Structure formats: C-alpha cells, structure tokens
Chains A and B, each alone.
Chain A
Amino acid sequence: MRCPGQDTQFWNQSAIFEAPCPKCAHMVEFFKDDTTRKCGSCGHRFVNPRMDFGCAAYCSFAEQCLGDLPPELVAQKEDLLKDRVAVAVKRFLKSDFKRIGRAARRARHAEHICQAEKGNLAAVLMAAYLWDLDAGNQDSQNLPAARAILSDLKAPEPLIEKVCAIIAQQHGGSGDIGEHRVVADSAAIADLEEAIKEDPSVQSSINRHLQETIKSQSGQSYARELFQQS
C-alpha cells in the first residue's frame, strides 16, 4: 500500500485548490504535491503557496529535490544548509550537552551581530555551529571534523572553503575575514555567559571583559544590551 498522504485516492477536498497568479491574478489550480504550476493566462510559473519547503532543511534527499525547484527557492539552499549543519553538529557531539548548548548560543549571538555587520549569514551560522569541533585536534588548522560534516551535507566547495576560513582564523589562519570577527565575538559572548553562570561575580566586571574580548562594534553594543538584561 502506498503512503495515504501521497495516494490521491485518500486526498480530501483541500488537496486540490486554486491560488491567484502573482503576476496577473488569474486563478491557477494546484495539487497539494505540486511544487510549481504555470499560469494559464500569462505563462508565469510560480511556487505552490501552500507547500512548506522547510523539510529540505533536514531531508537527506533535499539536494535532488531542490534541483527541481524554481530559482527563488534554490537561492535558499545555503540558508537551509545551515539548519542541516546544526543537526549534524548536534549528532557529532552526541551527549556532550555543554558543547551543544554553547554551539546553539554562539549561533544565536552570531545571527544578531551579523545582521548589523552585513556578512554572509549562512556562512557565519555554519561557522558558529562548527567553531570548536576541531578544538584540541592535532590537525586543527585543516578542520577535519568541520570539513567532513560540510562535505557529507554536499555543501558547495566554495562555501566549505569560506566557512573553514572563518573558523581557521582562530587557529592562526591568514587574512582578515569580517565574518570571523562576528563568530569570534559570538563565541566570546557565549564563553562570558558560561563564566557568569559559574561565578556570578564576573558580572560586576563585565564591561572590562567586553572591552578585552569583543572585537566588532556591533558585537560590543549587542553584548552590552544582553548583559544589562541579565
């Protein structure tokens, strides 16, 4: 028996619906599993408005599926890939919940700082998740664990190089990458959060710590606001 969700004999009335063409407002009929349909009036091909492509963030067949999607969704590939990196990092860390928590916090801070610094958000978030995966590794400069995760997820080679360059700067990598400052600042903020949790007296000298560890202007102001709230 086929999956009832995919077998049209089990579909109810809501499985077939009409949506207006965004170009000419002509009504176009969609089946729930159509990714796109062409408008019969103006010929414009547009995306099924009721289809949720969020599944591509974790599905192992996303690469094949996204290949058939329209350009506006293919452009989201890097954005979806960052969510798959998050899951892969979590699986890599298994039950090391302290490092899992630190990775999640780093990514949250990096997202805020990156919005002001205008970097490549997807690369920044991937770097934030993968930041300390190779720490303590003899071959840390080459980032074997981070590279393996990105390769397994079939990340494009230029993106792998970009993410690894962001991470590698902490181990003495060459050049000055703006995105590195964003992730380094987010890592410093996550470390400070942990330090305060372990020793609340650190909060009293927070300004000095921020001056010493946070490099970007946006990171400074974000961290001040964050630690004032706590």
Chain B
Amino acid sequence: MSNDDDLILKVRHLSKTFDKHVALRDVSFDLKRADTLGVVGESGSGKTTLARCILRAIDPDVGGTVEFNSEQIGWVSLSSLRHNELVPLRKEMQMVFQDPYSSLNPRMTVRQIIEEPLIIHHEGNSNERLERVREMLDLVQLSQDSLTRYPHAFSGGQRQRIGIARALILNPNLVVCDETVSALDVSVQAQIINLLEDLQKTLHLTYIFVAHDLAVVRHICNNVLVMHNGVVVERGDVDHVFDHPQRNYTKLLLSAIPSPDPDIRMDPKNRDILEQPEPVVNGYGLVEGPVWHGDHGLLFSDVIFGGVYAVNESKEVNPVFEHRRGIGGMAIHAEDGMVVSGKNVSFKRFGESESILLLDRDPDNGNVGYNDLTTDAAGRIYVGSLGSSPVFDDGLEPRAGNLYVIDLDGKSRVVAEDVQLTNGLGFSPNGRTLYHSDSRRGQIYRYEVGRNGDLKPREVFHEFETGAPDGLAVAEDGSIWVANAGAGGVAVLEPDGSQHAFISIPVPMCTSVCFGGSGLRTLYIVSGSNGVEGDRNGGVYRYEADVSGLPLTPARVQIPAP
C-alpha cells in the first residue's frame, strides 16, 4: 500500500469486459485530494464504466486495482473488498447522476430522499437526522419548506440540488459527478457549477467529473482524461491538453466544439484523422528496434547515428544509453535491462553503460551480425543473423543468415537456416506460430513452434509485391502488423495471410512497429530517412489501433557473469 498522503485514489490497470465487449481497458491514474478530474469522450468511450468501476457500482475485471485513501482507515483496496466490507466506505464516496428526473424516487418526500443515506448507515436519531437534512438544504440553497414536498414539484436545477444534498449528507470525500449538469439550462448549469465549486472549497471535496461538454470540463477541472474506445488516449493538465492536444482523437473532439464567438468558425475535423498516424518525434537517421516499456515508454535505437532513446506519451525524448551505430533489434529483459542486437547480441542494464555479451557474431558460419529479435512466452530470445552480402561490403563470400534461439540457460542454437535478410519476428497469441520477415525475398515465413522452442520447417505465409517486409508485431486478435520498407506504411495481415488494411506514413522507409501505450492500443511506427546518407528524417509515428497488441514476455535468458 502507498503512503502518498496527498492522493485520494490510485487506479491501476482497471478493465471491464461486458460479455466479450471490452468497455474499459487498462486504465491507470492517480487523483490528488481536493482535485477535480474531468473524464471526457463520446458515448461508449467508457467514461461512465470507469466511474462505476471506481465506486464498485459494478465490479471491474480481475487484475485491476482501485486504492482509496480512506479518512477512517487509510489506504484500502476498493477493488478487492467484498460488498459488505464496502458499505462503511460508501460514506466517503458518493455519486451525483445526470438525470435529476429519474434519479429521485417520485414517491419519497425531499426529506426522505436526503435523509435516506443516514438511515442506511445508521447515523443519528430522527431529530439529529432532520437537523442534518435542514443543514443540507441550506448548503444547496433550497428553502426549508422543501422538506415535505415531492420531487415533481421542483425544477430540473432544484432536483439536481436535491441529488447533491443527498450525495453530500454523509460527508463524502470523493464525489463522482456523472454528467451532472448536462441536462440543465445554461443559467441553471452555471448555478450548479458554482455550487459544486463552493462546496469543494468548504468541504475539501475531490471530484471526478464525467462530462461530454468540454467547455464545462475546462472550466471546473484541473486535470482531464480523454477516453476513446475504453482507453485513455490523452491525459494531463486540462488547459494544456485543450490548448495542445497531441492525439488525433482529442483534436477531433476539440474541433467539434461550436465556439460561442461567431467570428471563430467551427472547423470540425473529419473522423478520417483517426485513421492517420501522427508524428511523435523526428530527426533521427534510421529508427529501429522499437519496444514498449511500462516505465520508460517507447524505446528505440538510431541505426545510423547510434544511441538508444525513450519517448513517453507526452512526446518527451530521453536518451537511455549511448551505443555505437547499428542496433537493429531490442527486447526488454526481466533483469531491469534490455537485450540489443547489432554486431552481436548483448545485455545492457538500465542506467549502466556496460554491455554483457549473450551471442557473438560468427562470420565463418555466415553471420556478420544480428537484426530484429523477439521473445517467446518462456522468455527465450529468437534472433536472426545477417549473412554476409555485397550490401555490407565486407569482402566475405555472400551467404544467407540463420535464425537463432538463445535458451534460458544462455546457450544458443540455430533453429532455421537460409534467411536472406532477416527482419521482424513475432509469435501468434497461442505461441505456436512464429512469423518472420525475410526482406530480400519479400516474404514472411511461418514456422510451427515445437517443444523446447524448436521450429518445424517453414512455409511462406505472405509475399509482398511492393516494398519489403521489415519489423512486425502481433495483436491480441492474431493479426500481424508488418512495416513495409519501401511502401511507406504498415500492412495488417490476418492469420490466414490476407491483408486487410494498410496504414500509410509520410515517408517510404517504414522500418518497424510495436504496440505500446495504455492497454497496448497504440501502434508505434518507426521510419528511416529517404535513403540519403546523413539525412535526419527518421522518426516515430503513432496510430490508435482498433485492437490491443500482444504483450511481449521479457527475456529471461541467464546473464553471464561479466
């Protein structure tokens, strides 16, 4: 458990699946006490599901956690409590609903409605409860003669005040407002917003404000989560996100707001922008080896100018370590480091400069270096070797490369031969099929995986007519996402070998792909320059995929003592 005292809520990896539909996917965030967090997105984006999972109005999928900093008992994991254990905590977290008409029982008086939470939680005797109800009426600025009246006698704004009084009578710390002001006229909306803001100051409330009205969210929230298809696509300070939206979806949402100034013409973006990758960073020689790391973000190498970098979701780039040019493939290693391939395959611990050799080159065996690598579910490393070739101008007899596996004990063996130019590697979701690009032949091979990681003889899975297959990644649904060097984009292949989509990037040299971001829903696409030596047009793009990537198991290959 945490001791972050200024936080009230820590949400980690929260997901919710209804039947087979994933309504919420891997949402994580922290919420500070007395903050107001906006949650925006279209209908069906998962905003309300998120709010309900946090309050355990519905149970999230197993695996996600919601930690709540309770005033009574400190940090507690809401997601693992039984329903009867939650009851005392419910006093500290309450919800105000959208529709002031349907959320109040028409057959109860205002007194009964506001008082009911006290009765449920066995608080006070009748006189004390009435006193509290009277206080609440004052707090939400309703007259005392409202007590004996029924909801139908009130306007929408007044009913919303009744709903707020009912939510606040137990002195909650966390209040979830689900479209609380959406159904109200602008003037009444202003009154309720002011009321919520005043109550926040006097009662030190923390709000989660679910709303589709972005102007309202901007006005009252400090931070915002932008949701699309159950995933948080963008987050941060509300002014920053609204003034400098990074994701295409946020841009689409913001561009659709009609400005109240007739001189600012609405220019709504077409939904097609969701189909286009957006640039993340640029200025590298040739970006390769992309791999997602939960803390660092996207790790990538520059083949031409050397170095390994990390770029986070806010597009900030940090160098991870220096390295000579030529890293073609990277994977995460379970021992807080990375496996990188180039002239050889080696291990590098994060924060240390030393390289520990895992697999050396072997020119006599048709091996002048290594290219892309991947890991299987056990943590073995699969890496292809580059055979000598006139391209490399190394004076050696031209010959093909091999595919190696490095077992957990650190020993390596050849599992496939005759690879002209090895490239992307990736396992199918069940781990029984390995896909492998051979760029010079323009083919993707498919191997059936035997016991101990051995490979059966390959077959050609897909052949490209234009460009050459480069790095690849596999998604949860089994689709294979292949960077096409030369054709300037990513081909999406079905497990039967058919191509069902192509995602274009603005440069032809598309070198590799990997899934990352929240829920592995973001496809990162990396590129090289336009073939001119010394150019720095290589960069990283990202694309909101309609499917999650398959998580890659970190390598667990034994690291030899240095």
A binds B: no
Residues on A close to B: CB < 8 A?
A: none
